[in-house]
A and B are shown apart, each in its own frame.
Chain A
């Protein structure tokens, strides 16, 4: 367990963290601003990746595919909002959960029909290929560094949008008291649509960026969705800042836990027993963390004020 290995794992944790942030940002906005539970958010992550597969096939260029997939993800998000979600805002959470769960089933199956069940992929762009040598014989892929940077850039952009622009101000106001915002003459439905489309696009962006390192397959968004919910619960629902901090914490805790938990147990247990206990505890860590946060700070680390 050298310092380099720890450093590599911290990078890995950060990379998972920013990926989660991209998904969770949209989720927390939608949840916070519209009080709308959108289980289908993970599906939008999956769709981003699938759209990129198609556009990569058409253009043969990663960046062109990225832009086209983002636009298509935005359009699809707005379409979903128009067709399904719009009719659910006034219903209670259980109805929303049921309906959006239905959307998951529908789209997972739809994706399988359109693109087939076999996992797909597209390559890393030429520009970002290669590695940065860290450990002897092992390099840290430049693409992953690019993922971290693009995630951080998105976070900065979001911060700017939310705290420094008029729309951002309305979004913050909407998260605090949607009725009052509506009473002040803001078309809250349109605001919802903008937030929703933007959230779908962010999830799509995470999907597109994941495509070259993860397999693109039906249901790929389901696991990410669960983690994203953990992130927004820990971060405080409706809080972008909370989502950012919580995503990085989750990314680091999960990655470092997976890497070193078994070794830690090996220090005072028989190796066979440690091999049993280590992975089990490591996969529980983030949920233990969530339980702890909920116990001590039921509204999350950075609750959106006024809720």
Chain B
């Protein structure tokens, strides 16, 4: 028995010819936050990713796919251990997913330095868009600032004079304020930073009421956003103050906020009703399979699978020439569900951004819907600092 095993191992070790490569499945480590309150984000990305793989009959670029799901638990140290397992034990060809910026920061170097392809389906920290960019990293989402910039730009274009900014007291919250202010030149009447994970916004809402701003801009991901939206509505503030938000009103929170969120604004590069054939097919297949409305996170997961598919196809399943794979990924040769999509020099997308609004659809479900385009073919400001050309 042992002899047979050894022989098999030796054979496997030597079998690096084209045939053996094609026979082996393409290994993808799908890493995301799948426990705790933010688990819903990881779930949306994974569902989107798996949907595309399933539509291709379990293959990407003609090769069978083995997906290894890893839960980072939103702990950088756990993420690091697990990603090392993916790289060293499982020897994955791609790592995809990554919901949160601090997790991306933990796994970015180990993955890219091992010359494994990292497909970011959500987090887009400024470091990796600028000086720390890597040829092995590709994002199918955005650079963090851009979503916030959309709101600042919109507020500026509409001539709003005063804004009240409300974000959690951590780095991403401060980045969002910076992103908003980049285009908004009106008066910021107050900036309030709440504790991360804050449950009750009654104190902050009273301050908003007293400050009487024209708009309130907020970045309250997950359950915080649900609480804020419900309480904002309950206090009746929606009648006098325009609610602009980022990562607060989307399909992950709408099932909880329901009517309270209808009419509130958010920004996104994608919505379920975005009018292009790829998106229509994606949304109907997604809703049929999972029974809930996809979010921008789902679309990013789906596009991540599409991106890998396009590149593997372009190199005919042979990933040994890394430069060729990078060149193929760089082309982004697939029909993104968001429509226009191409890569900037730093491997972040150049795409359109929209002002979106929460609506109740005819079937009684809640979704975001495009109101107007705010940026056309917009790249991030950090690309200039990236050494890749």
Interface residues of chain A, those whose CB is within 8 Å of chain B, are 1-2, 4-5, 8-9, 12-13, 15-16, 108-109, 112, 116-121, 123-124, 131, 135-141, 143-144, 212-220, 223-224, 255-256, 258-259, 262, 275, 278-280, 282-283
Decide: B191 and A275 in contact? CB cutoff 8 A: yes
In chain B, positions 85-101 with a C-beta closer than 8 Å to chain A are none
Decide: A120 and B210 in contact? CB cutoff 8 A: no
Asked if B161 lies at the interface with its beta carbon under 8 angstroms from chain A, I say no
Decide: B234 and A141 in contact? CB cutoff 8 A: yes
Interface residues on B, range: 35 or more
Cβ contacts under 8 Å, A136 to chain B: 209, 212
Decide: B37 and A217 in contact? CB cutoff 8 A: yes
Docked CA distance A68–B106 (Å): 46
Docked CA distance A123–B261 (Å): 13
Partner of B203, one of A143, A258, A275: A258
Decide: B199 and A214 in contact? CB cutoff 8 A: yes
Docked CA distance A207–B8 (Å): 59
Decide: A216 and B193 in contact? CB cutoff 8 A: no
Decide: A117 and B203 in contact? CB cutoff 8 A: no
Closest 5 CB pairs of A and B: A138-B209, A215-B226, A117-B39, A12-B202, A119-B256
Show 27 residue pairs from A and B whose CB-CB distance is below 8 angstroms, ordered by the A residue: A12-B200, A12-B203, A12-B206, A16-B200, A116-B40, A117-B40, A117-B43, A118-B256, A120-B256, A121-B257, A123-B258, A131-B234, A137-B239, A138-B205, A138-B206, A138-B209, A138-B210, A139-B235, A139-B236, A144-B202, A213-B227, A214-B230, A218-B39, A219-B37, A223-B199, A279-B192, A279-B195
Q: How far is the CB of A18 from chain B (nearest CB, A)?
A: 12
Cβ contacts under 8 Å, A256 to chain B: 203
Cβ contacts under 8 Å, A124 to chain B: 234
Docked CA distance A27–B262 (Å): 39
Cβ contacts under 8 Å, B240 to chain A: 137
Decide: A119 and B193 in contact? CB cutoff 8 A: no
Cβ contacts under 8 Å, B258 to chain A: 121, 123
Cβ contacts under 8 Å, A135 to chain B: 206, 209-210
Decide: A121 and B206 in contact? CB cutoff 8 A: no
Decide: A258 and B194 in contact? CB cutoff 8 A: yes
Cβ contacts under 8 Å, A117 to chain B: 34, 37, 39-40, 43
Q: How far is the CB of B250 from chain A (nearest CB, A)?
A: 11
Decide: A214 and B235 in contact? CB cutoff 8 A: no
Q: How far is the CB of B303 from chain A (nearest CB, A)?
A: 21
Docked CA distance A162–B14 (Å): 78
Cβ contacts under 8 Å, A131 to chain B: 234-236
Cβ contacts under 8 Å, B191 to chain A: 275
Cβ contacts under 8 Å, A138 to chain B: 205-206, 208-210, 235-237
Residue of A nearest to B42 (CB): A117
In chain B, positions 167-220 with a C-beta closer than 8 Å to chain A are 169, 191-195, 197, 199-200, 202-210, 212
Docked CA distance A213–B256 (Å): 11
Interface residues of chain B, those whose CB is within 8 Å of chain A, are 34-37, 39-40, 43, 169, 191-195, 197, 199-200, 202-210, 212, 222-223, 226-227, 230-231, 234-237, 239-240, 252-253, 255-258, 292
Cβ contacts under 8 Å, B212 to chain A: 136-137
Residue of B nearest to A143 (CB): B234
Q: How far is the CB of B170 from chain A (nearest CB, A)?
A: 10
Docked CA distance A217–B221 (Å): 13
Docked CA distance A213–B131 (Å): 43
Residue of A nearest to B259 (CB): A123
Known: A117-B37, A120-B255, A279-B195. A259 touches B206 (CB 8 A): yes
Decide: B256 and A215 in contact? CB cutoff 8 A: yes
Decide: B256 and A9 in contact? CB cutoff 8 A: no
Decide: A119 and B206 in contact? CB cutoff 8 A: no
Partner of B37, one of A12, A121, A218, A255: A218
Docked CA distance A12–B93 (Å): 53
Q: How far is the CB of A266 from chain B (nearest CB, A)?
A: 10
Q: How far is the CB of A113 from chain B (nearest CB, A)?
A: 11
Residue of A nearest to B195 (CB): A283
Known: A12-B206, A259-B207, A262-B192. A213 touches B200 (CB 8 A): yes
Cβ contacts under 8 Å, A8 to chain B: 206, 209
Residue of B nearest to A218 (CB): B37
Cβ contacts under 8 Å, B37 to chain A: 117, 119, 217-220
Cβ contacts under 8 Å, B193 to chain A: 275, 278-279
Partner of B202, one of A223, A255, A282: A255
Decide: A216 and B256 in contact? CB cutoff 8 A: yes
Decide: A255 and B203 in contact? CB cutoff 8 A: yes
Docked CA distance A255–B199 (Å): 12
Residue of A nearest to B207 (CB): A259
Partner of B206, one of A5, A143, A214: A5
Partner of A9, one of B39, B192, B206, B235: B206
